Structure formats: structure tokens, C-alpha cells
Amino acid sequence: MLIDIVTIFPDFFRGPLDYGIVRRAREAGLVTIAVHDLRAFAHDRHRTVDDRPFGGGEGMVLKPEPIFECIEAMGIAPRGGRQAAKHSVVLLSAQGRKFDQSVANELANMERLVLICGRYEGVDERVGRFLADRELSIGDYVLSGGELGAAVIVDCVTRLIPGAVGNDASTQQESFTTSELLAGDGPNSTCASGGLLDYPHYTRPADFRGMEVPEVLASGNHEQIRRWRRSTALEKTLRNRPDLLESVALSAEDKELLARSKGKQT
Ligand code: SAM
């Protein structure tokens, strides 16, 4: 997969993409990340990429010409042919659709992904309307620029590329992930979250300053461990993200475990 990042701060990406899974995926050739300096597509000696907003108001707006020219120079498929070519051009924007695990899965199937980072008051609207395929927001808050959002998307998408994570099954069993691999695989492969939050994880020592690991996890009883994990995932979801429960297909066992958790909470 090739990921292109368009930014006025190319040096921002020295670091965030140089560690862990993303670094290994780059070294293994699973993903290539090209960072493009938007100012290289400016036409004046001051390398101007922004201008005042039409209609007045605060701040500056990123101009459309350098962004269009930068994307055109990459050889990206024209908008109508992007889906077939598996190319996607994304504008980072607080006004975009919320980036989540299902969008990450969609993007991980692309062969080429372009991430345009806005700055100042934002980007000329024609970029979102006529150049990008979608606008994505990483959350309901306003950042100073799209670079942090781009780094978040690169990290999240890269770990979904087959081979990027040591055990591919593990990315199918995490928080938010709806997967074909459902409960019943046994505790070695864990039970898939099925769209819930992940269950709590523990490692050695079994007793740390008097804080003990739940006994069931050391019991060796696979069925009890599976049930405990499912139950604690449901509990945690109920406590921290009850909204997720509305879109998860709950089994009869889930409903029973959830009813018990609700009983404990009242
Ligand atoms: N005036 C804009 C608004 O109110 O929606 C905010 C502009 S923000 C200061 C500058 C740039 O940061 C945006 O163009 C976008 O690229 C990026 N940005 C800000 N918040 C973001 C978010 N939640 N998700 C993704 N990108 C964001």
C-alpha cells in the first residue's frame, strides 16, 4: 500500500511513523509512506499556500491550486475511477465523517491512500467537494492541523494490512472490531469483541502489591475464561461506551451476562 501525506509541515512526520508496527511494516515493504511538502506546489517566491477568506472573517484558508496540483502530480486516478483503482483521497477535517474502525478497514483495502492535512481556518471548500473522495474527522474536537489526524489514520490502517502485526488474528479480536472469528475459538485466540470494547488483559506477576489477577484466568478452564472475558467486555462497554451496545448483535448468553452486569451496577 502507498500512503501519500500532503502537509505544510513535512518534518512533523519524522518520529510518529518511525516506531513499532508502522516502522516494521515500512521496512518490510508492506506500506510506503511519502510525505509531500505543499509549499513545493506554490508559485511565488514566498511559497504562499494560504490566503484571506472570501466574505471576511478570521484567519487564513489553504488555497486550492497547490493542493490540486500536488494531487495531480502524484498520478492518482481521476475521481470517477478511484474506486476501481483502489485509490482514495481523504481530506482531514473537523467537519468530516468520524473516523472509526470500520472506516479503517475500508481504507486498509486501498492500494493508494492520500491524506490532505489542513491548517489555519481550514481548506478551500473546493478541495473537499471536487478533489477529495471523503472528509474524515478523528473526533469531535478542533486540532490546529490535520497532521495528527493523518498520523492516527496511518497507524490504524497500517496495522490492518495483512502481515503488519505478528498475528493477523489479533487485529480481528480487538475493541470495535466486528469479525467473522467469534467466541468459541477458545481463550488462546481469545474471543472476538464483535464490536464491543476489548476485555481486560493481565500478565505476570499474579500478585502485584496485593492487586491480584482474577483467579479464573489461571484456572486453565477454557470455557470459564471465555465466559469471563465476554462478561467483562460487556461490563466495560456498558460502563464506558453504552452507545456501542446499540449496534452489537448480542447472543442469548450476552444478554444474560449483561443483565447480571446491570444488576451489579445498580
Ligand atoms: N475552522 C475549522 C472548523 O471549525 O471546523 C477548523 C480548522 S482547524 C484549526 C485546521 C485543520 O486542522 C483542519 O483543516 C483539519 O485539516 C485539521 N483538523 C482539525 N480538527 C480535526 C479533526 N477533529 N479531525 C481531523 N482533522 C482536524
Rounded mean pLDDT of 81-104?
Answer: 98
CA 188 to chain centre: 26
Residue of higher predicted confidence among 222 and 183? 222
> Is the minimum distance from the CB of 249 to ligand 1 under 6 angstroms?
no
pLDDT of amino acid 179: 67
Collapsing DSSP states into helix, strand and coil, what is residue 159? coil
For residue 135, the CA-to-ligand 1 centroid distance in Å is 10
Q: Which atom of ligand 1 is nearest to the CA of 62?
A: 14
Query: What pLDDT sits at residue 187?
Result: 39
The answer to whether 177 touches 216, Cβ cutoff 8 Å, is no
Tell me, using a 6 A CB cutoff, whether residue 54 lines ligand 1.
no
**CA 119 to chain centroid:** 20
In ligand 1, the atom with minimum distance to the C-alpha of 138 is 24
* pLDDT higher than 90, residue 85: yes
pLDDT score at 266: 67
C-alpha 49/C-alpha 62 separation (Å) is: 6
List the beta bridge partners of residue 216: none
Give the pLDDT mean for 2-19.
Answer: 97
Query: Residue 189: is its pLDDT beyond 80?
Result: no
Q: 99-137 pLDDT, tens per residue?
A: 999 999 999 999 999 999 999 999 999 999 999 999 999
Beta bridge partners of 134: 90
pLDDT band at 184 (very low <50, low <70, confident <90, very high): very low
